[in-house]
Chains A and B, each alone.
Chain A
Amino acid sequence: MAERLLDVDDLHVTFVTEDGLVNAVDGVSFTLDRGEVVAIVGESGSGKSVTAMTLMGLTRSPNSRFTGSAKLRDQELVTATEQQLEKIRGKEIAMIFQDPISSLSPVQRIGDQIIEQIRAHEKISKSEAMDRTVDLMERVGIPRARDRARAYPHEFSGGMRQRAMIAMALSLSPSVLIADEPTTALDVTIQAQILREISQLSEDSDSGIIFVTHDLGVVADIADRVIVMYAGRVVEQGTLDQIFYDPQHPYTWGLLGSITRVDRDPPRRLPAIPGQPPSLVNAPQGCHFRPRCPYAFDRCVEVPPLESRLGDAPEHLDRCWLEVDDKRVRREVEGRIGLTDPSVAA
């Protein structure tokens, strides 16, 4: 049994804004074990990044409110003091951001930025820290690392900057690595290289990885388990294969149906999800997906609990009132999974 690293239980993050309360994260629960890659998937505004950033204490501000718990082993993160968080950030939980140019300091050499992080947590000499920095940079595939450590971020290409970010994140061998859309700004060939580095590192270092992304291709490539979020809530979670081959929530069907594929002849028409995601200030009552769901019925005004509705897969959870057998029929569109409106199709 792998060691449990993170246990997030009923986490709520609310922001007070001029327009009202924004329930950015609305009761999210999940766990992360050692050696595991958990992908959080969702569209803009689904709360996936806020969830990830809250674990690092990065969403704290005078207008944010938190309830629920997020435990790193025995350490509570939601109520941790700044001093406690400072010890955890970088050392226990490290984060790789989407946009490396805005997350690296433009006026400090790459090497110095990594050294600074190491020396903030460990009492070692500058030259020792430098040697470790060079090792790290070589490990993530930066050539001529000793020279490159003296370069500034603007002298690096996008892919190299992202590698430098990864080197920095790994510098203290954290047990949890949070990657928030780390490859979204990169070209496909560079993306493939970075994904390979990340999965290699997770195997070598045996840390747990939370991978936040909107790209289901990347999910299929890297994840062991998948959490699907919609409008602040987890609507479905399960293993990679459960989510792709036996998705239970209509929103997941819609996501899977919306992707274009390079290896197949295109379907006559993409089964796209109708409508727009709801505003989080004024979210619909009951199931948040109800206004866009062609199969919504009376019961959907009650929020469905996140629970397993499949007898043979207790770890596969979803939030939908529909009957399982019914769902398996309805999600079929022209031989693939998708969301269609039966009233339009007829």
Chain B
Amino acid sequence: MSADAAAVQDPAPVDGRQPLIDVEHLELHFPIKQGVLIDRTVGVVHAVDDVSLILHEGETLGIVGESGCGKSTLARCIVRLLEPTSGALRFRGQDITHLGRKGLDPVRREVQLVFQDPVASLNPRKRVGQIIGTPLRLHGMDRDKVQDRVRGLLGQVGLNPEHVNRFPHEFSGGQRQRIGVARALAVEPRLIVLDEPVSALDVSIQAQVVNLLDDLQDELGLSYVFIAHDLSVVRHVSDRIAVMYLGKLMEVSPAKELYSKPIHPYTEALLAALPIPDPNENRARRRDVIGGEPPNPINPPSGCRFHTRCPHATEICSQSEPPLAEYANGHVAACHHPQNVSEAEISSATRSTLSPLTAGDDMPGGKQEPPRTDAADSDSDADREG
């Protein structure tokens, strides 16, 4: 455990790239209070429970999961709208976990957020010019320069620069979401966290906004954290996709492998549940729809959180929390019974440093191994090169 922790303390640049965001064993628990005079804490909601993630410069990380899985809470922690209960959050190596308002100021300039509901997130009494101009003024831009910059931004997101004096209600849903994007872009951030940015929009407008986000990323070299419950939109925009369930990370997959090689049974279940907009392929698919509903996050199941609904669950799943095992291509999954991987892949998998601290030592395939001692295991040696 201590060796593991030490390894994570020093985030070595992977592929020679310095991580932009480094989330380490992040936890956010909401206390449930009861009582009139004395606030007794009667329980906690484990909204985000020991999640570790790395986001590189220029990368898009998708986060998917059902309602209540903690994806939006995680996003709010990353932009530090919420203060994590424990764990560490680093932006370009700087610890920002518990920074105060002043300390966060330079970080806010580089990390921006776009919300799901463009009606609720734009002030109805302010003109578009004021909405987009406010972050510029807050970060010290001259008043006379602000107007030009706002017009430029409107053009950049595909709106008419002449519309600076309009109010949000004069725009359609898709246009309002573009205003949200323009406001986020105003301070030239490096990272934009998009919380369900297209869920409220019609399909044809969704495609326009997705294309806009793609173009802006190419043009400005932005990094995105893209949160959605719609797997196909996330698959379209992301380089890597993290799947969350009840506050825990279940799997992090390269986007290309998400559909062809889902390792965690939960990911498999999500994909099986998703109808494919192609009648022939939809009919040809074998679909095992999982039953039940996500359990109560106040009192999550022991061991693997998914074991109550998992078709492959055995005894070990309720007893020991699976560590995140790392397979080829940086594909990690926390499961005792990984799917769609060969025996060889299972035996050559290593314990990922992203694993939760509370995870047991049982690796899939019945291996009992502490981290980085798999050299003693003869099978894994043979498969290491493959």
Contacts and interface: CB of A to CB of B under 8 A. Distances in A.
Interface residues of A, number: 47
Contacts of A43: 202-205
Contacts of A245: 279
Contact of A192 (B203, B206, B272): B272
Contacts of B275: 192, 195, 215, 217-218, 220-221
Nearest to A221: B275
A241 B279 CA distance: 7
A270 interface: yes
B277 A216 contact: yes
B207 A262 contact: no
B232 A190 contact: no
Contacts, number: 128
A159 interface: yes
Contact of B277 (A157, A192, A219): A219
Given A189-B270, A190-B293, A221 B282 contact: yes
A188 interface: yes
Given A266-B235, A270-B211, A244 B204 contact: no
Majority DSSP secondary structure for residues of A touching B: helix
Interface in B248-280: 256, 258-259, 269-280
Interface residues of B, number: 46
A265 interface: yes
Contact of B207 (A195, A240, A258): A258
A144 interface: no
Contact of A240 (B233, B279, B290): B279
B279 A220 contact: yes
B174 interface: yes
Interface stretch (A18-26, A70-78, A249-257, A313-321): A249-257
A263 B231 CA distance: 10
Nearest to A264: B259
Interface string A171-204: 0000000000000000111111101100000000
Contacts of A192: 272-275, 287, 289
A273 B327 CA distance: 40
A188 B214 contact: no
A81 B350 CA distance: 72
6 contacts: A192-B289, A218-B275, A220-B279, A257-B207, A261-B232, A263-B276
Closest 4 CB pairs of A and B: A272-B207, A192-B273, A258-B207, A221-B275
Given A261-B232, A277-B202, 18 more contacts: A44-B202, A189-B66, A189-B289, A196-B289, A215-B275, A216-B203, A220-B275, A220-B276, A241-B280, A254-B204, A255-B204, A259-B232, A261-B236, A262-B274, A265-B256, A270-B207, A270-B236, A271-B207
